[in-house]
Amino acid sequence: EDLVCFRDIRPGAPHHYLVVPAEHMGNCKTLKSEHIPLVKRMMEVGKAVLQRNNFSDLNDVRMGFHWPPFCSISHLHLHVLAPASQLGFLSRLVYRSNSYWFIT
């Protein structure tokens, strides 16, 4: 009820969804320890959407946030990409795990 999930308009993988809080939140830099339950729910929703769309290998998933100033919008959104093993060259750079611009 408090989260929305939809397909990314420029997918970086065969399955690329954004999980977004319905209530406005800034970017991931504004997250604090009290937001841990929210982020966990966002990840749970991402996994559930993948499973509903017939993707079951949850070990081949990349989830994360773009770190400012590398965000295109200033509303918290979790990228859910799968299969991570099929990310193209550019997507592997843009969504690289724990890079300076994308935190998982």
Q: List the chain domain ranges.
A: 3-103
Segment 3-46, tens digit of pLDDT: 999 999 999 999 999 999 999 998 888 899 999 999 999 999 99
Q: Which amino acid would we find at residue 32? A: K
Q: Is 77 a catalytic residue?
A: yes
Kindly name the residue from 15, 16, 66, 77 that is annotated as catalytic: 77
Residue with tokens 């993948």: 50
Q: Where in 1-104 does DSSP place strands (E)?
A: 3-7, 15-21, 62-66, 78-82, 102-103
Instruction: Give the three-class secondary structure for 42.
Output: helix
Prediction pTM value: 0.94
- Homologous superfamily of 3-103 in CATH? HIT-like (3.30.428.10)
What count of Cα atoms within 13 Å lies in the side-chain half-sphere of residue 95? 24
Segment 34-56, tens digit of pLDDT: 999 999 999 999 999 999 999 99
Please state the φ and ψ torsions of residue 48, each to the nearest 5 degrees. -65, -40
Question: Which helix (DSSP H) or strand (DSSP E) does residue 65 occupy?
Answer: strand 62-66
